[in-house]
Chains A and B, each alone.
Chain A
Amino acid sequence: MTMLPPAHLRLTTVDTEDTVRIELDGELDYETADSLLTAVTDLLAARPRLHNLHLHCAGLDNVDSMGLSVLLMIRRRTDQAGVRLHLDDRTTTLERLLTITGSLEYLTTSPTGTANSSPGTGEDPRTSGEAMTARPTGPDSTT
């Protein structure tokens, strides 16, 4: 178990065989988001055999647009690395942000392609003119 203490975001990493779980506590925002991205980038570089990355979000108080931007970047990196990203225990606030911005599905569905396929491949069906189903897939997301 390692602890990284950035400004207002605390990251707790729990390691198992092919799964890493990072607990996020605090705010994921303009000032702290980069620390999460750095942590994940380093992790992906250090663990080429990783299959699953769980970001445990229950302790997140606030996620702003920079925080969301970093989650999107993390998704891009995990796709490239062939790692499946899980955003676990999303708070209603986070769920709402992801729903409004239409990024929930992108961030929470598993990439159907392999690591070397483009991240968009798996999502092609929903882009064919038909309205995007931004319907929340998580539990009771809209309040």
Chain B
Amino acid sequence: MVSTQAQTGVGAQQASLWGVAPYPVLVADEQGRVVLHNDAADVLLPGIRPGTPFADVVPAWLSAAHDALRAAGRTPGPPAGQEPDAPVTGVIGERAFEAHPTPRDDGTVAWWLVDDTDHLLAQRALRMERKRTAFLSEASSTLLSSLNLGRCMDVTAQLAAEHLADAALVIAPTHGRRLPVVTCLRGGTPVLAHESVDPDEVPGLGEALRGFPPVPSRWIDPSTAPVWMVPEGFGTVGSIVITPLPGHGVPAGALVLLRRSGGAAFTESEEVFARLFAARAGAAMSAARLYAEQTSITEVLMRELLPPSLHQISGVDYAGGYRPSADHERVGGDFYDVHPAAVEGEASLVALGDVCGKGLEAAVLTGKIRNTLHALLPLADDHQRMISLLNTALLNSHHTRFVTLVLASAVREGNAVNLRLTSAGHLTPLIVRASGAVEEAETRGTLVGAMPEAPARTTALTLAPGESCVLYTDGITEAEGGPMGGAQFGEERLKRILSECVGMPSESIVERVQMLAAQWVGKGRHDDMAVVVISAPRTHHLSAVNGHTRGRFTA
């Protein structure tokens, strides 16, 4: 439609140009009446005719802008062609428009309407994506900062309730009959409960918790949701979606999102977003779970490996000390045990050893060795036989992990202690004589568990009252430190220290060696250190062990 009205002052050619422009254009005069409009405006605003009041055909936001412009433009009036600062925006029908006014010389104003609906939608989507990305990165950093499974479940439920739904449940896979469930309402605090329920009764939940086969998130009919799934005081459930939490090869659990009826249901993009969140939460939860499992395995092993507290058995003093390496993840490979004789008057067996390697493998091997030695106790009067059998038990074609150990059989005879000592590839036991001399026991043998045979030579000796036999691991002698740092504690230093320990009770010797080695190391790293001291007690008064005692012993 081409207007030819003379009062507009628009030439026919000019009018025909904007008349077919794709954007709606309308011209209104100072009295607020429409004077001109083009085809696009006709489509957008049906009923628009020249002469109709502007306010009747356009939305309030546009007519208000027109009034405001007339009021302002009355005075100097912006030069033609110059746009006022910001465009006026508003909605017409279902679309959003920017309205750009061009005041004309005759006092009329041409309004150019630009549809920016898609632009606005894109902006909104961008804002939403940014918000989601920020949320996901916040979720990741919050979740990954904790290796505590309970805390991870709490955080997951809380974040999900805050950003994804009106309430969220995090359900962990269970080993037992009770299902650990953390529930969180929006704005509330997460609550942990254990539900005695069968997850397979809820559609999709059993599969999500098993983690295999992988299942997509699943909508369930709110009316079929079990009572425990709906938090108290939640109201009527509008929609529920169950999303599996994928873990690192292990199922990490399931995330249940609930929205109230009346509110918006989950859109497809929200569901995708929930899955992205679930992937992060699942990774954090499975990491925490694996860590917890590993920690508990280590704890169980460590408890098994803790050396026993020693004391006097059948008139022989035993004392032991163990200082594990400070590397927490590395369970030590040093061990010692004292097995009292089954029959009074027979020898007790002491075993001190050092398993090659570190970590769980070393811990498992240590446990195996201690158990095997325990089982071989009836053969304790033949050290070589015990060692050969242990060697056979440990030999394995896949690896050459070995143990070096010392076996000591000690029995009191009169005031003295008779000792049989066998070193199987271990550091030679040291004998602290009453004279202050420190002797190396005459025993040598091969390490156990890696070579076809494990021959060893046993030595027999006697400890007079006040004399001691010291068994130790290389964590002591190879401890690095000293005044200048970097020097080894060494056997010579150990011997010197022991020669000053003459006549001391076994416990004091252990404490002294440990203390000096610890001082030597200072704050530096060290390996496991184990010491066992076997002593013939100094007899200050008559001993009732047997008839051989000769009364008061004077030092």
Task: Identify the A interface with B (CB < 8 A).
Answer: 30, 65-66, 68-70, 72-73, 76, 100-103, 106, 118-120, 123, 126-127, 130-132, 134
Interchain nearest-CB distance for A31 vs B (Å)? 10
Q: A103–B402 Cα gap in the complex (Å)?
A: 11
A-B contact pairs, 30 of them (CB 8 A): A65-B354, A65-B404, A68-B402, A69-B399, A69-B400, A70-B400, A73-B399, A76-B400, A100-B404, A100-B425, A101-B402, A101-B425, A101-B446, A102-B425, A102-B446, A102-B456, A103-B450, A106-B446, A119-B451, A120-B451, A120-B452, A120-B453, A126-B455, A127-B453, A127-B455, A130-B455, A132-B456, A132-B457, A134-B444, A134-B445
- Structural contact, B358 and A131, CB atoms closer than 8 A: no
Chain B contacts for A30, CB-based, 8 A? 357-358
- Structural contact, B444 and A66, CB atoms closer than 8 A: no
Contact of A118 among B333, B357, B444, B452 (CB under 8 A): B452
Chain B contacts for A70, CB-based, 8 A? 400
Interchain nearest-CB distance for B328 vs A (Å)? 16
Q: Mark B433-463, 1 if CB is under 8 A from A, else 0.
A: 0000000000011110011110111000000
Given A76-B400, A102-B446, 15 more A-B residue pairs with CB atoms under 8 Å apart are A69-B399, A72-B450, A101-B402, A101-B446, A101-B447, A102-B445, A102-B456, A123-B452, A130-B455, A131-B444, A131-B457, A132-B445, A132-B446, A132-B456, A134-B444
Contact of A132 among B355, B356, B455 (CB under 8 A): B455
Nearest-neighbor residue (CB-CB) of B453 within chain A: A127
- Structural contact, A131 and B455, CB atoms closer than 8 A: yes
Chain B contacts for A131, CB-based, 8 A? 444, 455, 457
- Structural contact, B400 and A73, CB atoms closer than 8 A: yes
CB within 8 Å for A123 and B447 given contacts A69-B356, A76-B400: no
Chain A contacts for B453, CB-based, 8 A? 120, 123, 126-127
- Structural contact, B446 and A69, CB atoms closer than 8 A: no
Interchain nearest-CB distance for B462 vs A (Å)? 20
Kindly state whether residue B339 has any CB partner on chain A within 8 Å: no
Chain A contacts for B402, CB-based, 8 A? 65, 68-69, 72, 101
Q: A65–B402 Cα gap in the complex (Å)?
A: 8
- Structural contact, A102 and B452, CB atoms closer than 8 A: no
Nearest-neighbor residue (CB-CB) of B426 within chain A: A100
Chain B contacts for A106, CB-based, 8 A? 446, 451
Kindly state whether residue B401 has any CB partner on chain A within 8 Å: yes
Kindly state whether residue B427 has any CB partner on chain A within 8 Å: yes
B277-307 contacts to A, CB under 8 A, are none
CB within 8 Å for A102 and B447 given contacts A66-B356, A123-B453: yes
Chain B contacts for A76, CB-based, 8 A? 400
Task: Identify the B interface with A (CB < 8 A).
Answer: 333, 354-358, 399-402, 404, 424-428, 444-447, 450-453, 455-457
Q: A42–B427 Cα gap in the complex (Å)?
A: 34
Q: A127–B447 Cα gap in the complex (Å)?
A: 14
Chain B contacts for A65, CB-based, 8 A? 333, 354-357, 402, 404
- Structural contact, B451 and A72, CB atoms closer than 8 A: yes
Interchain nearest-CB distance for A28 vs B (Å)? 13
Contact of B427 among A73, A100, A119, A120 (CB under 8 A): A100
- Of listed A65, A106, A132, residue having the most chain B CB within 10 A: A65
Q: A106–B357 Cα gap in the complex (Å)?
A: 21
Closest 3 CB pairs of A and B: A120-B452, A102-B446, A132-B455
Chain A contacts for B400, CB-based, 8 A? 69-70, 72-73, 76
Interchain nearest-CB distance for B81 vs A (Å)? 73
- Structural contact, B451 and A103, CB atoms closer than 8 A: yes
Interchain nearest-CB distance for B456 vs A (Å)? 6
Q: A26–B333 Cα gap in the complex (Å)?
A: 24
Chain A contacts for B427, CB-based, 8 A? 100
Q: A120–B450 Cα gap in the complex (Å)?
A: 11
Nearest-neighbor residue (CB-CB) of B447 within chain A: A101
Q: A112–B355 Cα gap in the complex (Å)?
A: 30
CB within 8 Å for A102 and B444 given contacts A70-B400, A72-B450, A73-B400: yes
Chain B contacts for A73, CB-based, 8 A? 399-400, 450
CB within 8 Å for A134 and B446 given contacts A100-B425, A123-B452: yes
Chain B contacts for A68, CB-based, 8 A? 356, 402, 447
Q: A134–B423 Cα gap in the complex (Å)?
A: 12
- Structural contact, B357 and A69, CB atoms closer than 8 A: yes
- Structural contact, A132 and B357, CB atoms closer than 8 A: no
- Structural contact, B452 and A103, CB atoms closer than 8 A: no
- Of listed A68, A76, A127, A132, residue having the most chain B CB within 10 A: A132
Nearest-neighbor residue (CB-CB) of A123 within chain B: B453
- Structural contact, B401 and A69, CB atoms closer than 8 A: yes
Chain B contacts for A132, CB-based, 8 A? 444-446, 455-457
Q: A76–B396 Cα gap in the complex (Å)?
A: 12
